[in-house]
Amino acid sequence: MTELKTHSNLMKAIRSGEFVITGELEPERTSNIEPTVHEAIEIKKYCVAANVTDNPKSTVCLSSLAGSYLTQEKSGLEIVYQLTCRDQNRMGLGAAILGANALGLKNILALTGDHNACGDMPKSKPVFDYDSTHLVKLVREMADKRSIEGLALDDDCPDITIHVGGAANPNANPMGPEIMHIQRKAMAGVEFLQTQVVYDIDIAEPFLKEIKDKTGVPVLLGIFPMRGYGVAKGFDEMVPGVSVPKDLLAKFKAVKKSGFEKKEKNEAYRKLNIDFYVPMLKELKKKNLVAGCHIMAVHYPKIFPPLLDALGLQPR
Amino acid sequence: MIITENKPWEEVKQALELHHVKNVVIVACGICAAKVGTGGTEGAAKMKSQLVEHGFNVVTTAVVDEPCDERMTKQAFRKIKDEINEVDAVVSLTCGLGTQAMNTVMREKFPKKVALTALNTVFMGETERFGVYKEGCRACGDCILNETGGVCPITHCAKSMLNGPCGGSVDGKCEVGDYTRPCGWIEIYEALESIDRLDLFLKVREPRNWSESGHQRELNMRDKPAKEEGGDIHD
């Protein structure tokens, strides 16, 4: 077997076997990247890398390529550049990957992307020339064979030093098609997986076991720490296919109604998140089913230090 | 079948005004649009009463079998040439193919006249029952139904994914349409599972080749050699 080349801190951490933490950053509908950079600086000590989203939920935002580059440059935190197939064809995607390489980005999360019809520009033309599996394949082709759909890169092109990840959906029902979908991504060469948010270990465990048995691709389990009852309720209502467990939601509601001072409330929310997620993560870690955790705590950087502490992890 | 629906009356009226039309001939499709009810004698009668009600003069109506066939349209127009000569425009109750075929014929035979459509062409569809139609084919030119349990991912998947499902599928329903329509890739999975061929589901499918279908396509079977692999392509 040939030795695997490792270009990013993220892949280095995954391959070293340490419990890997990644975060998530969302540039918004502004060309001001500073809030994103600020958040990246806040979480930098607590994660090896953070994703920068690509028009999340099909809403138009600052470009993920520009956002990824600027955030990585200004914060020093390694970025996972999220790239969807919704907004550009294979020519655009190939060009974006060359651009990412030129800008020093080291990880791409290859996504199909939410459909335009679900976002804020439903009249726009959906591209979907590629799907996520094709995009995984393209990154690997460019990195491993120095070509784009068979077109050789120029001789002076530096090696493409980018790793490619994919998404996985533990909440899929039925599960069979999703497992096979991930198997295809594995065949296409995906190097790591980040899952959608999961709340239930009884859902997560069999899913992770199937992925491990059938692909062996390292998985970062997606969790969504909620900074207050409003966020929890909004997530429960707005994200199809994922429900915040009723008792957890009730606990968040109780904190909101508690009459506590703001600081006490924040402390109570923090504790609820930790008490809920940490046992699940520890259990999955113990069973060797996850390589780490993808913490989608957008605009909630303060959860990182106590969460890591409870997981027994040191700041970087 | 080509599925059509009526344009809102206001839009039809605006088109007639745009072309300064007062007197018309109605020409309706006798095949697909007739079945859907937008064409045929039924669609033509409805359109006639609407036009008359709004002060337009309908000189005659004609139902043409296959108006998308230029030869059929030419033949039908020959029969009503005096009426066409008399009016300002033809109101077409056909799909986009029929209206374009009519305009092709009119450019040759009635160069000062135009055929205006009163219908929107919505898709190529299967009929579930009368009045209920479902898009079934996008004419991609590279049919993979034999590998997907007879379910077309180009049409049934909102993203036309060749390697699905995506994360937008919840309990077998698609994120597009607010989770009311089935996820095409779950349909494919179930179809392949029932014939014990899930091995086909696992295949990584290459991206679609747009080089032949990203622009107007033409097919001329007359210029091809009479014998090709698989048999005689001529009748």
Residues of B in contact with A123 (CB under 8 A): none
Is A167 in Cβ contact with B165 (below 8 Å)? no
Mean pLDDT of A13-37: 97
Which residue's entry shows tokens 């709340």? A199
Amino acid identity of A241? G
Percent above pLDDT 70 for chain A = 99
Stated pTM of the model:
0.95
pLDDT at A2 over 90: no
Q: Which two tokens stand for residue B123?
A: 């898709």
Is A118 in Cβ contact with B176 (below 8 Å)? yes
**Is there a contact between B162 and A147 (Cβ–Cβ < 8 Å)?**
no
Is B171 in Cβ contact with A180 (below 8 Å)? no
Is B166 in Cβ contact with A130 (below 8 Å)? no
pLDDT tens column, A229-279: 999 999 999 888 888 999 999 999 999 999 999 999 999 999 999 999 999
Q: Is the ipTM of this complex over 0.90?
A: yes
Residue A240 contacts B, CB cutoff 8 Å: yes
Residues whose CB falls within 8 Å of the CB of residue A221, separated by 6 or more in sequence, listed in order = A170, A195, A198, A204, A208, A281, A284, A290, A292, A293, A294
pLDDT tens column, B37-96: 999 999 999 999 999 999 999 999 999 999 999 999 999 999 999 999 999 999 999 999
- Here the CATH number for the domain that contains residue A307 is 3.20.20.220
pLDDT tens column, A60-95: 999 999 999 999 999 999 999 999 999 999 999 999
Name which of A133, A196, A210 to mutate to probe chain B: the one with the most chain B Cβ atoms within 10 A of its Cβ: A133
Is B176 in Cβ contact with A181 (below 8 Å)? no
Q: Is residue A102 part of a domain?
A: yes
Is A240 in Cβ contact with B179 (below 8 Å)? yes
Average model confidence (pLDDT) across chain B: 95
Closest-CA residue of B relative to A125 is B159
pLDDT at A310 over 80: yes
Residue B191 contacts A, CB cutoff 8 Å: no
Helix boundaries (H) for A113-256: 132-145, 176-188, 201-214, 229-238, 246-256
pLDDT tens column, B100-127: 999 999 999 999 999 999 999 999 999 9
Write down the pLDDT at residue B225: 63
Residue A84 contacts B, CB cutoff 8 Å: no
All CATH 3.40.50.2300 domain ranges in chain B, comma separated: 2-123
Structural domain that includes position A213: 9-244+277-311
CA distance B191 to chain A (A): 12
Q: Is residue A251 part of a domain?
A: no
Q: Which fold has domain B2-123?
A: Rossmann fold (3.40.50)
Is B159 in Cβ contact with A131 (below 8 Å)? yes
CA distance B170 to chain A (A): 5
Binned at pLDDT 50, 70 and 90, residue B227 comes out as low
pLDDT at B4 over 50: yes
| Partner residue opposite B163 with nearest CB, options A114, A117, A131 | A131
Pairing of strands A20-25, A49-52: parallel
pLDDT at A12 over 90: yes
Write down the pLDDT at residue B233: 46
Write down the pLDDT at residue B127: 96
Handedness of CA A153, A159, A162, A163 (dihedral sign): positive
Name which of B154, B163, B174, B189 to mutate to probe chain A: the one with the most chain A Cβ atoms within 10 A of its Cβ: B163
pLDDT at B234 over 80: no
pLDDT at A162 over 70: yes
| Partner residue opposite B159 with nearest CB, options A112, A183, A187 | A112
Residues of A in contact with B159 (CB under 8 A): 85-86, 112, 115, 126, 128, 131
Residue B208 contacts A, CB cutoff 8 Å: yes
| Partner residue opposite B189 with nearest CB, options A176, A183, A240 | A176
Q: Which two tokens stand for residue A152?
A: 């050789």
pLDDT tens column, B130-180: 999 999 999 999 999 999 999 999 999 999 999 999 999 999 999 999 999
Is A196 in Cβ contact with B166 (below 8 Å)? no
Residue A91 contacts B, CB cutoff 8 Å: no
Give the C-alpha separation, A274 to A314, whole Å: 16
**Is there a contact between A300 and A307 (Cβ–Cβ < 8 Å)?**
no
Q: Is residue A4 part of a domain?
A: no
Name which of B200, B204, B211 to mutate to probe chain A: the one with the most chain A Cβ atoms within 10 A of its Cβ: B204
Q: What is the DSSP string of A248-296?
A: HHHHHHHHHTT---HHHHHHHHHHHHHHHHHHHHHHHHHTT--SEEEE-
pLDDT at A220 over 50: yes
Residues of A in contact with B164 (CB under 8 A): 131, 177, 181
- Contacts A–B by Cβ distance under 8 A: 91
Binned at pLDDT 50, 70 and 90, residue B231 comes out as very low
Closest-CA residue of A relative to B173 is A173
Question: How many domains would you assign to chain A?
Answer: 1
Percent above pLDDT 90 for chain A = 96
Handedness of CA B207, B212, B213, B219 (dihedral sign): negative
- What does the CA dihedral A35, A41, A42, A45 come to, rounded to 10 degrees? 160
Is B207 in Cβ contact with A130 (below 8 Å)? yes
Is A178 in Cβ contact with B165 (below 8 Å)? yes
